[in-house]
Chains A and B, each alone.
Chain A
Amino acid sequence: AQSVTQLDSQVPVFEEAPVELRCNYSSSVSVYLFWYVQYPNQGLQLLLKYLSGSTLVKGINGFEAEFNKSQTSFHLRKPSVHISDTAEYFCAVSGWTSYDKVIFGPGTSLSVIP
């Protein structure tokens, strides 16, 4: 079974500053990794995903994440945030086996301060 930890429940950051949202996972098998974003009163949408290959993954809205197998981490970064990035961010993991379900982390609330 897999599990996901997001160490920071809330991250306030000033507009145009860089941000890193941390995600660690545990799994006894190889995994797929995802970051989803949830804007207020909306459903989740995919930011980016890691399936295999290059460990640096670029997503939408200028976000990127790096898969680090030795540290079992998949931290999300953006060099300069905007007010519109204020949202809940969820890291998620799934195993490679058939019908593995996606396990979501508890979420990190990013608040961008003008």
Chain B
Amino acid sequence: DTAVSQTPKYLVTQMGNDKSIKCEQNLGHDTMYWYKQDSKKFLKIMFSYNNKELIINETVPNRFSPKSPDKAHLNLHINSLELGDSAVYFCASSQGAGGELAKNIQYFGAGTRLSVL
């Protein structure tokens, strides 16, 4: 029973295409995240939602749009894919909300490896 699951695991696509990555967590957590890990393993947060509300929105191109239909799901849609979007994208979740958010353990999915050709 996977706690944080992402689909697809691998995504190979052409430049200019639009693609989506889905994430679901069955931990009952209130907060979900999207991270991008580049080829040098550097991990950077992109977005965070708490109870379906956007709370962290880092400086990413507006071609990236997160959507949270409910607090167990956070999807990432990417328009007009570019070569530089190639990376591993991780979804994560954590319990709690408000001022205590920062200290909570984050549970990560296995990642989606996106290759843009």
Contact check, B43 vs A98: say whether CB atoms are below 8 A apart: no
- The total number of A-B Cβ pairs within 8 Å is 67
Q: How far is the CB of B7 from chain A (nearest CB, A)?
A: 14
C-alpha gap A49/B94 in the complex (Å)? 14
**A residues touching B (Cβ–Cβ < 8 Å)?**
32, 34, 38, 41-46, 49, 51, 88, 90, 94-102, 104, 106-107, 109
Contact check, B41 vs A43: say whether CB atoms are below 8 A apart: no
Question: Number of B residues whose C-beta is below 8 Å from A?
Answer: 25
C-alpha gap A109/B40 in the complex (Å)? 11
Contact check, A43 vs B103: say whether CB atoms are below 8 A apart: no
C-alpha gap A101/B102 in the complex (Å)? 6
Q: How far is the CB of A101 from chain B (nearest CB, A)?
A: 5
In the complex, what residues of B have CB within 8 A of residue A99's CB?
48, 50, 55-56, 98-99, 101-102
Question: Quick one: which of A51, A88, A96, A101 has the most chain B CB within 10 A?
Answer: A101
Q: How far is the CB of B23 from chain A (nearest CB, A)?
A: 11
Given contacts A43-B111, A94-B103, contact A102 B41 (CB under 8 A): no
In the complex, what residues of B have CB within 8 A of residue A88's CB?
41
Q: Can you sample 20 A-B contacts with CB below 8 Å?
A: A32-B103, A41-B111, A43-B4, A43-B90, A43-B111, A45-B108, A49-B103, A51-B103, A88-B41, A94-B103, A96-B99, A98-B98, A99-B56, A99-B98, A99-B99, A99-B101, A101-B102, A102-B45, A104-B42, A106-B40
